Amino acid sequence: MKNIISKILPNSIAEEVEIETGDKLVSINGNEVKDIIDYKFLITDEYLEIEVEKPNGEIWEIEIEKEYDEDLGIIFKEAILDKPMSCHNKCIFCFIDQLPEGMRETLYFKDDDSRLSFLQGNFLTLTNMKDEDIDRIIKYRISPINVSVHTTNPELRVKMLNNRFAGNIYDILKKLSDAGIKINTQVVCCKGINDREELLKTIEDLYNLYPSVQNLAVVPLGVTKFRKNLKELELFDRISSKELIKHVSQLQSKYIKLSGDPFVRLSDEFYVMAQEDIPSSEHYGSYEQLEDGIGMIRMLRETISNTIGNLNLNISGSISMVTGVSAEKFIKEAAKEIMDANPKIKINVIAIKNEYFGKTITVAGLLTGRDIINTVKDHELGDYLIMPNNMLKKGYELGEEAQGLLLDDYKVSELEKILKRKILICDYAGDDLISIINKNLEED
C-alpha cells in the first residue's frame, strides 16, 4: 500500500502533531503525493495543510506552520510510493535479457524511472517520458539525473534500443540542459555499432551541452553465456580497446585545454583489456563515476599509497581477498604494497572466474556466491576473507532484510557458515582496506 509511514523521527514536527507509524499520507496542500520527490517538494512551504488516513480509515486534517524547507520527520515504507516506471526498450546489449532463469524476480525488472535516477543513481533512457514528465523534472529541480545515451545519432539509437521513440534524445537533453538540470551520461559501447566515428560524434555532441552535461562514462558491452536468440555482438579485445583509448584520449586532451576537465572517461576494463596503464588520479576528478567502474583501480592504489603509513606494524596474520579476473593484477599489486610495509601480514588474492554468467564477465560486481564458494573452498583462506562491497546488491526493491545479498541470493552469513570463515566487506578505497586489516588482525 502506497504512502505508508514506517517511522516518525523523535522530536520532529510529525511527532508533535501526532502523526504515527502506520498512518497513510493522503495529500499536502491539496496535492496528491505520488512519490518522495513530490513529498520533498511540497513540504518546503511554511504553511501546510496535510491529510492523513489512520489505520482505522479515519481522515485527519492537520495544519502545520514551520520554517521554510524544515523537514517533517516522516520516513516512508517505500521511497517511490507508487510503482516504478519500467523500461519499454529492447536494447541489443541489455544485460537483463542475458540473465538465466530462476533468479529472484526483482532482477528481471527493467526500471527507467527518473526518481530512481535521482534517489539511487540509476541510469534511464528517457524513452518512456512524456513532455509533462520532462517538465516535472525541471519544475522540481530533480538534479542530477543519470541518462543512458549510447549514441546521439537518432537512427542508430532507435535501432540500438529497438524503440521508435528513442531518436529525440539530444533534444530532450538540450531542454534539460537549458533549464539548468545537471546530467551524468553513459554510453554502453558496442564494437562495430556505436564505437569509432559514432562514439566520437556522440562525445562531441554531449560536450556541446557541458557543463550541464557534467560528464560521460563509456563502458564496454557485457556478454553472458545466456544470449540465445539475441543479436550476436562482438566483444572488445586488446587491439580494439587500444584504438578506442587512443581516439578518445585526443578528445580528452582537447577538453582539458578548454575547460580543465577531460569530460569523457573510459571504464577501467578498457585499460585492462588494452594492457595499458590506468590514468592518474587527476584524470578522475572527484571519482563521481565509480559506480560505472571508472577509476576504481586508481582510487584503490592511490588511497593505499596515501594511507599506508596508518598500517599497524605490530599486527600479524593472514587474510584472503576475492576479486574479479580483470582486477586481479591490480589487487595483487595493492596486496604486495601492504605486505612490503608489514611482512608479518600475508594476503592471498583469489581471482574468481565467473562460471555462473560465463567467463567473458570478469568484473567483481557480477560475481555470485556459488562461484566464490566453488573457487575458494580449495584455498587456505587464513584468518579472514575480504570481499568488495560492489558484490552485494542493494536497491529500493530489496528492502532492509536483504542486506549482504549476492546476485544469486546467497547471503554473506551463509558464505561464512559454508567457508567457516568471517567475511569482511570493504569499499572501493584502500584506506578502508587498511582500516579493516588494523581492526581485525591481532597485535603480536
CATH number of the CATH domain containing 324: 3.40.50
The region of weakest confidence among 157-166, 224-233, 248-257, 294-303 is 224-233
Q: Judge if 210 and 320 occupy the same domain.
A: no
Boundary of a domain, candidates 265, 293, 321:
293
Q: In the listed set 273, 293, 313, which residue is the last one of a domain according to the structure?
A: 293
Asked whether the predicted pLDDT for residue 38 surpasses 60, the reply is yes
Is the overall model pTM greater than 0.95, yes or no? no
The reply to whether 85 falls in a domain is no
| Assigned domain for 90 exists | no
Measured distance CA(341)–CA(235) in Å, rounded: 39
Percent helix, percent strand, percent coil in the chain, to nearest 5: 40, 20, 40
The pLDDT confidence band at residue 61, using thresholds 50, 70 and 90, is very high
In the chain, DSSP finds a helix count (H) and a strand count (E) of: 14, 16
276 and 306 housed in the same domain: no
Q: Which residue among 225, 258, 293 closes a domain?
A: 293
Q: What digits encode the pLDDT tens for the residues 214-266? A: 999 999 988 777 777 777 888 999 999 999 999 999 999 999 999 999 999 99
171 φ, ψ to 5°?
A: -65, -40
Q: Specify the number of domains making up the chain.
A: 3
Identify the pLDDT of residue 78. Answer: 62
The cell for 401 is: 532484510
Are 250 and 157 within one domain?
yes
Examine the domain organization and report whether 279 and 319 are in the same domain: no
Confidence grade of residue 115 (pLDDT, cut at 50, 70, 90): very low
| 288 and 306 belong to one structural domain | no
**Does residue 36 contact residue 79 with C-beta atoms inside 8 Å?**
yes
Same domain, 139 and 236: yes
Judgement on whether residues 133 and 10 belong to the same structural domain of the protein? no
- Inside any domain, residue 125: yes
Are residues 219 and 250 located together in one domain of the fold? yes
Residue 308 and residue 264 share a domain: no
The answer to whether residues 352 and 367 touch, using CB atoms and an 8 Å cutoff, is: yes
Instruction: Indicate which CATH number applies to the domain containing 256.
Output: 3.80.30.10
Q: Are residues 285 and 387 in the same domain?
A: no
Is residue 94 very low, low, confident or very high in pLDDT (cuts 50, 70, 90)? Answer: confident
User: Is the domain of 276 the same as that of 155?
Assistant: yes
Which pLDDT value is given to residue 102?
65
Domain encompassing residue 53: 5-76
**Both 112 and 138 in a single domain?**
yes
User: Which residue type does 312 have?
Assistant: N
Question: Which set of grid coordinates corresponds to residue 398?
Answer: 530489496
Dihedral through CA 72, CA 75, CA 79, CA 83, nearest 10? -100
Choice between 97 and 374, residue whose per-residue pLDDT is larger:
374
Phi, psi values for residue 352, rounded to 5°: -100, 120
